[in-house]
């Protein structure tokens, strides 16, 4: 079993308690957290519902992989009994709500899934009055809240890690270069929020139309902003399927002083591997999960199913693993929001993770640098959460 609740030393616990006491006593009034979820009988098998868009024509492959990973996680449980029932949402919010209510009628104490944000929101609303928590595979933070938690990897988590590291290396003034679309705007907002937390000043944000002409026109403007604002950090939101390849080609040609200005991005620059060859990304930073743990999961999955897991499959494994780890504590409130948001977190497929009070998640990430067309880890992923 990969995931378990992470233990921290008594010294770290003491430090956390001291800091928490100081923060609480200095901040008033305090906003009360809304507690959700049902107490369970830990002596009985735990009823878990898995909601997937199995019959949706575009998501059959990912649904199958999520289902496989869930069954794999249940099968690897040694000290916890989980009774799993699987329900088809068809990728439809109305159907997700119907299936969520049916799952509760069938005895479910917690719901894993759905995949889509709209379906997760609908399922959560459908069972909110029954006090059932929903662990969605979505990464859309707008649906997180109340009884809906999200397992998906968020821009905010990646941005927080990247900006905190950049600040630790003396970077103080940033320009954000992003496509003027929904994904780009989400990325920009996440970077702006993280910059404030890390005391990095965003001196300019440069949007561009997501076309070749738009990208070509935006790069000189970004360079001008860097020079005028004396920026030392250029933040990119694009991935390899978007503007990153063209940006990686054009940025070195603009005359940006790469000895002073650090390039960094919130997408995976190593997917596909060809992206690492781009001249403009050499020396750049991006984040990675704990690849050692991920490879272990993939190897076991391939052995069991004779195929590679979908990149989202680990979310299902993490969800079941967290449920199992919490139930194993023997506490009746294990699957309530209080149990789910315990600060120590869990060990999952991609390393450590935990649910936050706002129902989003935090995952331990490494900082990687592109050097000579290879990936080098320059700051390893944490092994436990300090606070």
* 139 and 190 in a common domain: no
State pLDDT tens for residues 180-229: 999 999 999 999 999 999 999 999 999 999 999 999 999 999 999 999 99
CB environment 185-198: b (16+ within 10 A), e (fewer): ebbbbbbbbbbeeb
Domain contains 246: yes
Domain contains 172: yes
> Which whole-number Å values give the CA distances from 267 to 125, 284, 319, in the listed order?
32, 12, 23
State pLDDT tens for residues 152-177: 999 999 999 999 999 999 999 999 99
Number of domains in the chain: 2
Q: How many residues can be counted in the chain?
A: 387
Q: Which helix (H) or strand (E) holds 285?
A: strand 285-288
Backbone angles phi, psi at 256, to 5 degrees: -65, 135
State pLDDT tens for residues 258-284: 889 999 999 999 999 999 999 999 999
Question: Which pLDDT belongs to residue 69?
Answer: 98
Residue-number span of the structural domain to which 197 is assigned: 155-267
Domain contains 131: yes
The 3-state DSSP composition of the chain as helix, strand, coil percent (nearest 5) reads 40, 20, 40
* 217 and 167 in a common domain: yes
Q: pLDDT band for position 14 (50/70/90)?
A: very low
* 296 and 262 in a common domain: no
Res. 119: pLDDT tops 50? yes
Task: Record the pTM.
Answer: 0.88
Of 22-36, 126-140, 296-310, give the lowest mean pLDDT range. Answer: 22-36
CATH number at 184 reads 3.40.50.2300
* 164 and 260 in a common domain: yes
Under a CB-based contact definition with an 8 Å cutoff, are residues 177 and 247 in contact?
yes
Under a CB-based contact definition with an 8 Å cutoff, are residues 46 and 83 in contact?
yes
Average pLDDT, whole number, for the chain? 90
* 160 and 96 in a common domain: no
What residues have CB less than 8 Å from 93, skipping those under 6 apart? 116, 118, 119, 121, 122
* 258 and 230 in a common domain: yes
Question: Which pLDDT belongs to residue 12?
Answer: 31
Domain contains 283: no
* 164 and 217 in a common domain: yes
Question: Which pLDDT belongs to residue 168?
Answer: 98
Question: Which pLDDT belongs to residue 33?
Answer: 57
Domain contains 210: yes
Sign, Cα dihedral of 63, 69, 70, 71: positive
Q: Which of 267, 283, 304 is the last residue of a domain?
A: 267
């Amino acid at each position: 079993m990969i995931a378990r609740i992470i233990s921290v030393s008594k010294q770290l616990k003491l430090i956390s308690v001291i800091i928490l006491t100081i923060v609480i006593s200095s901040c008033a009034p305090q906003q009360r957290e809304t507690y959700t979820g049902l107490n369970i009988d830990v002596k009985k098998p735990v009823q878990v519902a898995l909601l997937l868009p199995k019959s949706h024509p575009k998501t059959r492959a990912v649904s199958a992989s999520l289902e496989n990973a869930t069954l794999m996680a249940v099968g690897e449980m040694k000290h916890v009994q989980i009774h799993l029932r699987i329900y088809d949402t068809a990728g439809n919010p109305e159907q997700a709500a119907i299936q969520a209510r049916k799952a509760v009628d069938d005895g479910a104490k917690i719901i894993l899934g759905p995949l889509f944000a709209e379906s997760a929101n609908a399922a959560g609303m459908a069972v909110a009055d029954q006090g059932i928590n929903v662990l969605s595979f979505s990464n859309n933070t707008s649906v997180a809240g109340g009884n809906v938690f999200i397992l998906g990897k968020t821009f905010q988590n990646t941005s927080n890690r990247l900006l905190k590291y950049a600040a630790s290396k003396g970077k103080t003034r940033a320009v954000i270069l992003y496509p003027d679309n929904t994904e780009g705007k989400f990325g920009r907002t996440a970077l702006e929020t993280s910059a404030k937390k890390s005391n990095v000043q965003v001196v300019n944000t440069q949007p561009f139309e997501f076309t070749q002409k738009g990208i070509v026109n935006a790069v000189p403007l970004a360079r001008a902003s860097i020079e005028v604002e004396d920026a030392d950090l250029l933040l990119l939101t694009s991935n390899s399927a978007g503007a990153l390849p063209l940006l990686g080609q054009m940025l070195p040609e603009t005359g940006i002083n790469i000895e002073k200005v650090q390039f960094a991005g919130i997408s995976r620059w190593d997917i596909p591997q060809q992206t690492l060859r781009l001249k403009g990304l050499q020396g750049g930073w991006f984040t990675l999960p704990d690849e050692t743990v991920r490879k272990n999961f993939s190897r076991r999955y391939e052995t069991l199913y004779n195929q590679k897991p979908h990149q989202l499959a680990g979310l299902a494994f993490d969800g079941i693993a967290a449920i199992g780890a919490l139930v194993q504590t023997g506490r009746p409130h294990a699957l309530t929001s209080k149990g789910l948001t315990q600060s120590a977190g869990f060990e999952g497929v991609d390393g450590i993770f935990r649910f936050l009070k706002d129902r989003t998640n935090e995952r331990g990430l490494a900082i990687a640098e592109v050097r000579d067309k290879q990936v080098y880890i320059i700051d390893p992923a944490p092994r436990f959460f300090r606070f």
